[in-house]
Chain A
Amino acid sequence: MSTIADLHIGEIGYISEESLDSIPLKLLEMGCLPGAEVQLIQLAPLKDPLYICVNGSHLAIRKETAEIIKILKSE
């Protein structure tokens, strides 16, 4: 299954229900909830960190965090 780290710039995914327990509490609180739409907006060099928009929040997260959040791609 793919994760946020697999998204291309501009691509949209949906956070999968099964990653609930692995998402850090702080990210949950900032709107990174299962089922939420997540779009990759920009990548820093070396694809780290990632600039995402999730549930209306614009956040920068590190690759290591993005890799543990599983998503379903839209197509």
Chain B
Amino acid sequence: MSKNDIKVALIGNPNTGKTSLFNQLTGLTQKVGNYPGVTVDKKEGISKLSATQNAIITDLPGTYSINPTSLDESIVLKTLLKKDIKESPDVILVVADVENLKRNLLLFSQIKDLEIPTVLAINMVDQMHRKGISIDLSLLKKELNTEVILISARKNEGIKEIKEAIIRCHVAAKASPLCGINHKIDPDYFHKLKEISSNYTLYELWLMVTQNNFPETITKVEKEKLLAFKQDTFKLKKYQHKETIFRYQEINKILKKTYIVDKTKATDLRGKLDKIFTHRIFGYVLFSLILLVIFQSIFDLASVPMDFIDATFAQISDFAKSSLPEGVLTDLLTEGIIPGIGGVIIFIPQIAILFLFIAILEETGYMSRVVFLMDKIMRRFGMNGISVIPLISGTACAIPAIMATRTISSWKERLITILVVPFTTCSARLPIYAILIALIIPDKKVLGFLNLQGLVLLSLYALGFASAIIAAYILHKTLKVESRSFFVVEMPNYKLPSLKNVFFDVLEKTKAFVFGAGKIILALSIVLWFLASNGGDSYKNVEKDVIENIANQQLNTDEIQQIIASKKLENSYIGILGKTIEPVIKPLGYDWKIGIALITSFAAREVFVGTLATIYSVEADDENTTTIKQKMASEVNATGGKLFNFPVGMSLMVFYAFAMQCMATLAIVKRETKSWKWPLIQLFGMTFLAYVSSFLTYQILS
């Protein structure tokens, strides 16, 4: 990033192909702020405009207007009102959809009035002929007084021209407003507003008044004068309405001369598809089928690469053990770090498959139909049709899901959605479920084609959704939060998903998950290994005690080694910790080793399997390397039966279905609700629920 780079902000209505354009301009250079913890959520990338000129492109959230009604949209206004040299954009690239040009130009006209150099990209022009649209480009350029480029982002057409236009636009002097807002509405009123400050354009001042959003650079006196304008809220509202009507009148005038649609040419594929997808019966049937397919494929498609990864890491560990000299560092590597990394990598297939399906549903425009179908139902539970998107995304990871609630404009509906999202079965629970299901449910086909293990998994997902819905209903009836509910969702045209967009989406989300959660998992694996291979006096004397105790028994060296190993674990720091909580978890059917895994997975659920892996590899004798699954299957309980039997397995799955064991999610909830109150309610409420339900499950089943 150098000083000479042009800062470009990419703005546009949702569904205009803004993401496609961003991907074409920046490719693999794009970066998103990593979670957990950091607050950055803007996407940035570098684009090579010419041999000597680069641009930093920022992809802002899609919005219909500069006047925000949701948190997501307010980010756009904040960026545009920024006046410091470092952050404010040099050039704004507005993306418009050729089919909805009129509505897209509203946002364009608002941005133009901010008097920042602006380039207008009219996208999806490859559809023009089919839709019977024709544009007089040179006249449109003149009327809008700006650079206008016709592009087809998906087909990579017009990208070079955009790059050239950005450079030209940057070199050219300050841009002029398109409409100006004072003309017809109330000249006197706006004249007074403009007199407050000469550092800002009239439209910027007007936005500060209407949106109550003041840049840091504004003086105290100026701010007070602006606040005085806010007094007359009736006038403010009325003038905002008038402003919008006025803008549309101007846009209509321009489009009448430059934009012609021959309606006879339009094909009605959308109408036909909508008849099925939004049908009051078939719509729901199709939605259920799509969900069923998604969850079946997660289990079926991901199991092969997952078993492979599991086995590979066991082999790597084995290889390292046999080829490296014995010592503490080798132990750390083979018993701490390698199983730890394996515990992260094993997630990738499932997460990627889930994100892939979600990306496809969003890309095709189908997700909006789901919002339409589900709004009335979700409203009964205090949520919003849009809440379906976070609830489905939550099956991948609660963190992006909670961030996706930002498009919900009602605070109460948004808060409830945030609070219940962690009930949905996120991918961190999958490895736990997967391994337990493999241990306690037979691998059989039901009705000839449905996998029984898959069905059990599906019912765990259903349990997650059901508890989210029930929790939402309770919150809806008990929460006293004042908030106005308003709902409008655009139903975009159906599109074939762009491979490039889907690829980047899956890559970005998977990467964020692996690097974000991966760090925690790896760090915990190392701590765990340390705690498991060190202990107090009793730990140090294990070897001597064992040899004394078994002196009169006929045992070979292997057997002695195994007894020593398990005694060592029992007397290590982690063993003592597990033993301490054993009385509390015994009614749930767990022993102290599972107790250790419960403690360590408190920060992140996915650590559970990794912990058991570490515990059993510390314990295991060195000759036989087996996979985690095999190790778990061979564990025995006090009565000599299998430790992971049906009641214990079910009890554990129920525990993980409800327990709020994810620090990253708690941090995100704190950030999004701006208070510790809500994450703490989640933590205690869900943990309590988990304990009680697992207790009941185990007691009833055993």
Using CB atoms and an 8 Å cutoff, list the residues of chain A in contact with chain B.
Answer: 20-21, 23-31, 33-34, 41-46, 48-49, 51, 55-62, 65
B368 adjacent to chain A (CB < 8 Å): yes
Chain B residue nearest in CB terms to A32:
B488
CB neighbours of A55 from chain B (8 A): 102-103
A42, A58, A65: the one contacting B490 at CB < 8 Å is A58
Assembly CA distance A28 to B237 (angstroms): 12
CB neighbours of A44 from chain B (8 A): 278, 280, 372-373, 375-376
Interface residues of B in 258-290 (CB under 8 A from A): 270-271, 274-275, 278-280
* B interface residue count range (under 10 / 10 to 19 / 20 to 34 / 35 or more): 35 or more
Smallest beta-carbon distance A26→chain B, Å: 5
CB neighbours of A42 from chain B (8 A): 274-275, 278-279, 372
Are B245 and A33 in touch, CB under 8 angstroms? yes
CB neighbours of B491 from chain A (8 A): 51, 58-60
B67 adjacent to chain A (CB < 8 Å): yes
Interface string of B661-677 (1 = CB under 8 A from A): 00000000000000000
User: Of B99, B106, B244, B375, which is in contact with the most chain A CB atoms at under 10 Å from its CB?
Assistant: B244
Assembly CA distance A43 to B487 (angstroms): 15
Using CB atoms and an 8 Å cutoff, list the residues of chain B in contact with chain A.
Answer: 64-65, 67, 69, 99-100, 102-103, 106, 237-238, 240-241, 244-245, 248, 270-271, 274-275, 278-280, 368, 371-373, 375-376, 385, 486-493
Given contacts A21-B238, A46-B376, 4 further A-B contacts (CB under 8 A): A57-B100, A58-B492, A60-B372, A60-B489
Assembly CA distance A30 to B492 (angstroms): 13
Chain B residue nearest in CB terms to A57:
B103
B67, B274, B371, B375: the one contacting A41 at CB < 8 Å is B274
Number of A-B contacts (CB under 8 A): 101
Known contacts A43-B280, A51-B274, A56-B102: does B490 contact A30 (CB below 8 Å)? yes
Are B372 and A29 in touch, CB under 8 angstroms? no
Smallest beta-carbon distance B161→chain A, Å: 26
Are A49 and B487 in touch, CB under 8 angstroms? yes
A30, A45, A59: the one contacting B280 at CB < 8 Å is A45
CB neighbours of B69 from chain A (8 A): 26
Are B102 and A65 in touch, CB under 8 angstroms? no
Q: Which 10 A-B pairs have the closest CB atoms?
A: A58-B491, A29-B65, A60-B372, A60-B489, A42-B278, A28-B244, A45-B280, A31-B103, A62-B487, A49-B375
Are B278 and A26 in touch, CB under 8 angstroms? no
Assembly CA distance A51 to B634 (angstroms): 57
Assembly CA distance A28 to B248 (angstroms): 10
CB neighbours of B375 from chain A (8 A): 44, 48-49, 60, 62
Assembly CA distance A59 to B67 (angstroms): 19
Assembly CA distance A9 to B106 (angstroms): 29
CB neighbours of B486 from chain A (8 A): 24, 26, 65
CB neighbours of B64 from chain A (8 A): 26, 29-30
CB neighbours of B237 from chain A (8 A): 25
Assembly CA distance A61 to B488 (angstroms): 5
Are A59 and B102 in touch, CB under 8 angstroms? no
Are A25 and B240 in touch, CB under 8 angstroms? yes
Are B241 and A26 in touch, CB under 8 angstroms? no
Known contacts A29-B67, A46-B376: does B240 contact A65 (CB below 8 Å)? no
B241, B275, B368, B490: the one contacting A57 at CB < 8 Å is B490
